[in-house]
Structure 1
Amino acid sequence: MYRAKTTLEQWRILQAVVDHGGYAHAAAHLNKSQSSLNHAVAKLQDQLNVKLLEVKGRKAFLTEAGEVMLRRSRHLTQNVQDLEELAANINQDWEPEITIAVDLAYPKKLLYPALKSFYPESRGSRLRIIETVLTGTEEAITQAWADIVISPLMPRGFLGEPIAECSLHPVCHPEHQLAALDGPVELNDLQQHLQLVIKDTSNTPSEKQGWLKSEQRWTVSTFETAIDLLLQNIGFCWLPDFIIEDLIASKSLHRLPIKGSSLRPLICYVVKPKPDSCGPGTHLLYQTLIQQSTFNSFYNSSLSDSYTNSYKE
């Protein structure tokens, strides 16, 4: 039978040293002495006979081999954490707190009926509703800091159920220079004007989603602030249809026709980042969100109608 040379604690220490940029900050985070961390990592390297870290100045950097080992170690420590959380959920009837991360692109008016239905069955569980954007939503799934995530992004390796669809539209004030252009707006025209951007809630945002080519860019935290600025004839912004439909109807805002793409369609999914270790309350809320969704019934109805029509033909 194979006996491990290393311990989970050694791998957790290595992860902390890398994540916090060195031994000193990692020691403060773990509430351990810096010398104990040095000893643990040195012993880990000796046991494996592999150089994992190189210290340059006051910072520790991963070697090429260290990057591979660290990445695999995160799966190891996460699997152990999931096992322990699963055991805890098996031993308790109901989780005391449920965290749900909701991307701002999801129309929250669809969320409230599900929460109202869930409340009588919640058995006193505290519910934390955290609003997220872009990479912040993705990290809620990949880092599993939320029990349930409603997201228009689906990271590789995860599954979810579609519960809503919406679209993002470029809008500005009716008197903005872009609104006065004849015909569809060219991308070069957009690049010359101020773009309002909703702040990514991740600590390490990644600009890989959406159109972000304007040199002039203001970042705000909420759609409400973006709209307030737009109503003052400041900039343009991509906003969800459910946010702007009344403002477009009242001609308070102008929807920009853009050559090549005047909207970005989105499908929002409900995801359980750790499906095997979620508690009964999380599972009930997840199922309630799916049952309250009109997306699935519409989708299934469309499939049924399509099948029936094909059969008749």
Structure 2
Amino acid sequence: TILTSVRMFMANVGGLAVGMGLPIVVKLFDPSETSDLSSSDSAWFITMTIYGLVGLALLIFCFTQCRERVVMDKSETENVKVSDLWLEFVRNKPLRILAFFFITAFAMMAIGNSAGAYYINYNLSGTAGELSIFMGLGSIPAFIFMPMIPAIKRKVGKKGMFYIFLITAIIGMAMLYVISMVDSLKEHMMLVYIAQFVKSTGVIVATGYMWALVPEVISYGEYTHGRRISGIVNALTGIFYKAGMALGGVVPGLVLAFVDFNKDAAQQTLFAQQGILWLVAVIPAILLLLAMFIISKYDLDDERIDQINKEIEMKHNNQ
């Protein structure tokens, strides 16, 4: 839990650099006073190229600084097969539950994040500065709540924490929906910021803590069939994480096409604005409700995990 909290705290430093920094960088390459947030293709291309190169440099740095401290010998690696991915998924029920939670959670985040610029630009007629604040609020709650996760989990338990923060996120999305539907409210950006902060608080804590469950399903696998195949489990979670992101990348395009969104129009139709609002609030809220149902089936509570780890440790000591 502590390692996950630190990990997600730092991940949101990167998220803040994207959320708040991206609109500012875009405007640097498209300073026209008359342009809106999406008017210059070249500005977006240059900005994403810069972010891509910086990201590549950070990944290369991470790779060069990593040291493989636990190395399997040849006899052990010969027993690892690609088919182990499927076998582990079939026989490890907690892993299957976590996998579907990953798909749902990351689809929700991808959909909501991709719609943020459309929402500020077309539903609220906002500026690049307002988009910067709105997207930045998607990461700022991490710096407040991620350090508190271990204490919160001790108080309400694993599932209780998931339920509390998933519901918090849904409340924030409901606030965004109501504010956007009432003309007298959507003129007040502070209300939009508050709703975004509430939504992001729930999303960040719930989706951040799910990574702490990965070692649990690894231990469960070792407990049930005697093999601690951490690499395979992490490979599977990576597959489902990417599947969720891919699903979240497809849905916005389909919805925008359905509502006849016109990228060349400065003012979108009411139906197109409604479609953008579906992407910001309605569809993510539905996915969060599904995520709550999925995580309710996860039955590895702290007491059971402690017992599993003790039995694994006893087995290793006896060997």
Give the TM-score of the pair, scaled to structure 2.
0.22
More strand as a share of residues: 1
Instruction: Kindly indicate whether structure 1 or structure 2 has the higher relative contact order, using CA contacts under 8 Å at least 6 residues apart.
Output: 2
Over alpha carbons, which structure has the higher Rg?
Answer: 1
TM-score calculated relative to the size of structure 1: 0.23
